[in-house]
Amino acid sequence: MEIYNTLTRRKAKLDPIEPGKVRMYVCGMTVYDYCHLGHARVMVAFDVITRWLRQTGLDVTYVRNITDIDDKILRRAEENGESISALTERMIAAMHEDEARLGVLRPDAEPRATGHIPEIVAMIERLIEGGYAYAAANGDVYYRVRRFADYGKLNNRNLDDMRAGARVDVDEHKEDPLDFVLWKAAKPGEASWSSPWGEGRPGWHIECSAMSTCCLGETFDIHGGGPDLTFPHHENEIAQSEAATGKPYVNVWMHAGAVRVNQEKMSKSLGNFFTIREVLEVHDPEVVRYLLVASHYRSPINYAPESLSDARKSLERFYHALDGVEPAHGDVKGIYAERFSAAMSDDFNTPEALSVLFDLAREINRLRDAEPAHASALGQELKRLANLLGLLERSPAEFFKAGAAELPLSEAEIESRIEARATAKSHRDFAEADRIRDELAALGIVLKDSREGTRWSFEAPPA
């Protein structure tokens, strides 16, 4: 298996520190608001990565943190007139609901920043002892960026360039404008914890350094996150962790691609910012998941009506192939599994893996009448491989009828019209039968006649 490493800017064979085991940390959410589409991108990307690593026989420990103390959390709690714990618990519960609807498996551990304050304080103390950090007169503690010789290696930047174009807060307590905060002195009335430097709370970057090393050790296999975290967050994590331990922090760095909305950057200022739950109120969760899986995890994704329509049509092709085919085990010669494995082992190439599934679906359709037993075996293989991507976990009937939930007709009303059509046909009133079929088709309800009767499904109309 080869994985692209952001640090080295090339793909290389995955070589776990401990044979047969992979320790992976992914930066999670700051829980002051509902999760948005960018969070969904990271959730699904690393869910697929974890599923495939385990499929290859690796014992994966997947840790995704929760930042439950932060300036944004303090501000939002005050705006809402609620306690910090009430806000964060509510948002954590919502996050778990969102990821469950997207078919995302829960991480093995979800450490919270507030649960690791002693470890955070201890790491800061080690940095001060090593000359990498200093306590300022205002009670803050800062990291000396220039003290760490390799600073900038993840992003291939040098300090002089960063200093020239830096967007840094003017702070008279810093020795250098590039230095960043490790510990923030508490203002009156703010949530705080005791430390050798007075009451305060941790900076964002040090939280992840402490939580990851506490859960996975001083050096671990994979660290992942969103595209906006490479600088400064992950750069700062490297500087803190390696200065504190004297050891390499992470072997492989992985970053998911950004989500764009109608080819524009997603942002609240542009009015194109969507939470996961807003999207799932309108679109089937599996359709959204397919959209997120269909692009390579490092590539940007465009969220737009036509892309969601394409995603639904792709899923419809798979479910149509499975419709009426009884799953059965049989000899499929392993060619599809081999191609699927080759794609996923090449830096988790999901677009290529999905192309294998389309080939399977075409073969099922070709053989369903002539060789039903073989078609059934292929159907089982299609479901098995798709399940590794978190797809095709419903029956065709469940998928097609789920899409009809928002239609103006209930399922009983649809069945009533189908019965009326059957009656019209029996009386040779074909004009009325066609009228009913056309009425339903205009809503996206497709009728399929067979010897056993008429079945219906919902298919998304063209965008």
Smallest Cα–Cα separation from 4: which of 354, 262, 310, 251?
251
340 pLDDT more than 70: yes
Query: Do residues 267 and 273 make contact, with C-beta atoms less than 8 angstroms apart?
Result: yes
Sorted by sequence, the CB contacts under 8 Å of residue 161 that are 6+ apart come out as none
Smallest Cα–Cα separation from 201: which of 150, 141, 247?
141
| Mean pLDDT score across all residues of the chain | 92
Task: Determine if the peptide bond prior to 232 is cis (ω within 30°).
Answer: yes
**What is the percentage of the chain residues whose pLDDT exceeds 90?**
79
Given the structure tokens 């394409």, which residue do they identify? 310
Mean local confidence (pLDDT), 25-52? 97
**Around 375, how many Cα atoms within 13 Å sit in the side-chain half-sphere?**
19
Tokens of 374: 């073989």
DSSP symbols for 4-15 = EETTTTEEEE--
DSSP state at residue 82: -
CA distances from 143 to 34, 139, 183, 413 (A): 31, 14, 10, 66
Tokens of 294: 């269909």
Determine the residue type at 360. Answer: L
Mean local confidence (pLDDT), 436-443? 91
Most confident of 58-67, 154-163, 325-334, 431-440: 58-67
Mean local confidence (pLDDT), 453-458? 81
pLDDT of residue 165: 47
| Other Cβ atoms within 10 Å of 134 Cβ, number | 18
Mean local confidence (pLDDT), 168-191? 88
Please report which confidence band the pLDDT of residue 262 belongs to, taking 50, 70 and 90 as the band edges.
confident
pLDDT tens by residue, 45-90:
999 999 999 999 999 999 999 999 999 999 999 999 999 999 999 9
331 pLDDT more than 80: no
Q: Is 180 helix (H, G, I), strand (E, B) or coil?
A: strand
463 pLDDT more than 70: no
462 pLDDT more than 70: no
Tokens of 268: 């609240």
Tell me, letter by letter, the H, E, C secondary structure of 102-153. CCCCCCCECCEHHHHHHHHHHHHHHHHHCCCEEECCCCCEEECHHHCCCCCC
Q: Of residues 402 and 392, which shows the higher confidence score?
A: 392
Task: Give binding residues for Zn(2+) as ranges.
Answer: 27, 208, 233, 237
pLDDT tens by residue, 121-145:
999 999 999 999 999 999 999 999 9
Tell me, letter by letter, the H, E, C secondary structure of 205-221. HHHHHHHHHHHHCCCEE
pLDDT tens by residue, 180-228:
999 999 999 899 999 999 999 999 999 999 999 999 999 999 999 999 9
Report pTM.
0.90
168 pLDDT more than 80: no
pLDDT of residue 424: 94
Give the whole-angstrom CA distance, residue 193 versus residue 173: 21
Tokens of 274: 């969507």
Task: Give binding residues for ATP as ranges.
Answer: 268
Residue 186 φ/ψ, nearest 5 degrees? -75, 140
What's the start-to-end Cα distance of the chain, in Å? 38
Tokens of 254: 């992985």
pLDDT tens by residue, 373-387:
999 999 999 999 999
Query: Do residues 392 and 318 make contact, with C-beta atoms less than 8 angstroms apart?
Result: yes
Query: Do residues 388 and 55 make contact, with C-beta atoms less than 8 angstroms apart?
Result: yes
357 pLDDT more than 60: yes
CA distances from 310 to 192, 304, 375, 462 (A): 49, 10, 25, 9
169 pLDDT more than 60: no
pLDDT of residue 443: 85
Query: Do residues 440 and 456 make contact, with C-beta atoms less than 8 angstroms apart?
Result: yes
Residue 177 φ/ψ, nearest 5 degrees? -60, -25
Most confident of 43-52, 363-372, 436-445: 43-52
Query: Do residues 227 and 258 make contact, with C-beta atoms less than 8 angstroms apart?
Result: yes
| Other Cβ atoms within 10 Å of 287 Cβ, number | 24
Q: Of residues 36 and 459, which shows the higher confidence score?
A: 36
pLDDT of residue 289: 98
Give the whole-angstrom CA distance, residue 52 versus residue 388: 7
Give the whole-angstrom CA distance, residue 104 versus residue 27: 15
pLDDT of residue 39: 96
pLDDT of residue 408: 80
In sign, the C-alpha dihedral spanning 357, 361, 367, 371 is positive
Give the whole-angstrom CA distance, residue 23 versus residue 13: 16
Task: Give binding residues as ranges.
Answer: 27, 208, 233, 237, 268
